[in-house]
Structure 1
């Protein structure tokens, strides 16, 4: 597992990105047994292999290459995640998005999205697949089916062949690309596989590649709120973290909070 995170707010509204890899013959691939979350959303996207999700609300689903799972934890979700390999092994990503203070104690929910539900936009020697948010180029625009990502978030999967390029028309305050195959060029600089790029402000973005590349593109608007983080909980204050721990220990974690 390769972890990239910015719990201090530097990538607001994004908190963490995990890249999960295993070979096809890995006999020791592990999973994550039931555990709690509060105050975040998670988005899991599969390139190779699969992942089975189960939670306390009786959701159970397995996703495969090209599919995604989205979880809005709100005031409390307890779930497990068990990865699977196929002939290509496992390659998957899990993204955490921070919920604004007004939604941290909201009702939890879950959905999965199959690859066939995700629109694809052809670009020069490549394609852009939209998981969530709006993505626009000179060739047109597409909207991903995950339309409730925190911070007006957008996530897409860019694939470029050799000498491919894309010019996005986008003005998101937070705009990033995580390169996981090949190398991307932007503004005279190159990012190789395993590197995350944070782009400066603007209304357009041109990405090119010489030999080919794949990347996750992330766009969103920051909450500009205090971040208090402890393990699977992300709240705004230490007192709220302490309350989450008490709720989990006394068995009331998944109960809806009283209305004022």
Structure 2
């Protein structure tokens, strides 16, 4: 019987200050060269100053990706050309499969903590780039949890299993690249040991400092882990992280603004379709 292999950090990437939408201040990690495949980008929106985010994200297009938005504090109101209109609040998430094309807006709401949210971009495989657009809200009450050892895991999507065999399945079951996303909270002195054999395994530290395998990872950094089948997380003073798993597409990526395709010719077609009003198939 093969002994478990603990996965270790093989690359550490800090988030960088950036700006998007109508002047929304964010911290961003992106890699359109395949280093995070099937993930493309992670944006963290976090501020207790409304001027940093209140302009929101007015109507804009997408093609060729999925987005997953998860709120810690505050909220976001979504509207799109398909007629969806909904608000997610603290603990909720929204998933958008842009496929051939979607035009949407996201406008922020605030609570007494301000706004703290994340948006992930996942790349769609070539066969799904022009598929019909879809949208789904997931409420906090729908997300199962694993608790114990001074740790809590909230499963948004994917299968998550502790080394003692207890497991949960997140409600988002159609994430590109067999993706999985979970939010982990560790108390001071808390620890979490998971079975984790997905080819891509990423840990973004949201708060505090976490021991990821044998490495100390500070807040605002994304750790990419090497091979193995076990993940060990711990924190002396407490902290939080997002866990991302998936299977790479290993396909070429052509990116321009809100469009992610496989070739420059497909990007040019997306731009023409948007100018012509046919991006969404209308």
Q: Is the 8 A contact 1:13 1:97 kept in 2?
A: yes
Counterpart residue number, 2:72: 47
Report the counterpart of residue 3 of structure 1 in structure 2. Answer: 28
Matched, 1:252 2:278: yes
CA distance in 1: counterparts of 2:236 and 2:278, whole angstroms: 54
Q: Does residue 171 in structure 1 map to residue 171 in structure 2? A: no
Specify which of 218, 227, 230 is matched with residue 204 of structure 1.
Answer: 230
With a CA cutoff of 8 Å and minimum separation of 6, indicate the structure with the bigger relative contact order: 2
- Segments of 5+ residues of structure 2 without an aligned counterpart are 1-25
Matched pairs, number:
256
- Map 1:117-156; keep pairs closer than 5 Å: 117-139=142-164, 140-156=166-182
Shift of 1:27: 7.7
Q: Structure 2 CA distance, aligned partners of 1:186 and 1:247?
A: 44
Q: 1:251 to 1:25 in 2, by over 3 A?
A: closer
- 1:111 is aligned to 2:136: yes
Residue in structure 1 matching 2:247, options 215, 221, 224: 221
Provide the aligned C-alpha RMSD in A: 1.1
SS in 2 for 1:41: strand
Bigger drift between 132-141 and 227-236 goes to 132-141
- Is residue 56 of structure 2 the alignment partner of residue 31 of structure 1? yes
Residue 88 (structure 2) pairs with residue 67 (structure 1): no
TM-score (norm 2): 0.89
TM-score for the superposition, normalised by structure 1: 0.96
How many angstroms apart in 2 are the aligned matches of 1:96 and 1:63?
A: 18
1:49-97 Cα shifts (integer Å, max 9, x gaps)? 0000100000011000000000000000000010111001110000000
CA distance in 2, matches of 1:176, 1:50: 25
5+ residue gaps, structure 1: none
Separation in 1, partners of 2:50, 2:224: 35
Q: Which 4+ residue blocks in structure 1 deviate beyond 6 angstroms?
A: none
**Where does residue 238 of structure 1 map in the other structure?**
264
**92-101 or 186-195: which moved more?**
186-195
- 2: CA distance between counterparts of 1:68 and 1:152? 18
- What does residue 194 of structure 1 align with? 220
**Alpha-carbon deviation of 1:24?**
5.5
